[in-house]
């Protein structure tokens, strides 16, 4: 949904943003899948948001029970604590989402 185009990011060079999201049913659970930047726009965590849309809120309004966020930070090794705090804030402020999971791919060097 959200593609960063600031700082070191140039996602729109390779990807097109999705126009909509939908909850995925898996083994009786309603999964909401977000990719990296989709979760980095929470109004309760960030004082200044970069985007008008909030994909996490949109998924929770559709009935998401388990929120997954697939993220990577190729230029910042120490971003894990910030990411965990942000996802914890999302879980606390959105009581409908019972669990928040993250999938982190650690990279030591950027791909060039």
DSSP H stretches of helix in 1-102? 55-61, 80-93
Among residues 3, 70, 83, the alpha carbon closest in space to that of 32 is found at 70
Q: How confident is the model at residue 107 (pLDDT cuts 50, 70, 90)?
A: very low
Whole-number average pLDDT of the chain: 79
Query: How far is 103 from 48, CA to CA, in rounded Å?
Result: 25
Q: Residue 1 above 70 pLDDT?
A: yes
| Residue 103 confidence (pLDDT) | 46
Q: How confident is the model at residue 109 (pLDDT cuts 50, 70, 90)?
A: very low
pLDDT digits (tens, 9 = 90+) for 12-67: 888 888 888 899 999 999 999 998 888 888 888 888 888 888 999 999 999 998 88
Handedness of CA 48, 51, 56, 58 (dihedral sign): positive
Domain map (residue ranges) of the chain? 22-105
């Amino acid at each position: 949904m959200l593609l960063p185009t600031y700082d070191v990011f140039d996602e729109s060079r390779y990807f097109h943003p999705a126009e909509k999201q939908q909850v995925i049913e898996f083994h009786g659970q309603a999964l909401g899948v977000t990719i990296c930047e989709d979760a980095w726009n929470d109004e309760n965590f960030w004082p200044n948001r970069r985007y008008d849309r909030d994909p996490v809120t949109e998924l929770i309004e559709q009935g998401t029970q388990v929120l997954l966020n697939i993220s990577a930070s190729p230029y910042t090794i120490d971003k894990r604590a910030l990411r965990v705090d942000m996802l914890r804030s999302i879980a606390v402020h959105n009581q409908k989402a019972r669990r928040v999971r993250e999938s982190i791919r650690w990279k030591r060097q950027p791909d060039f």
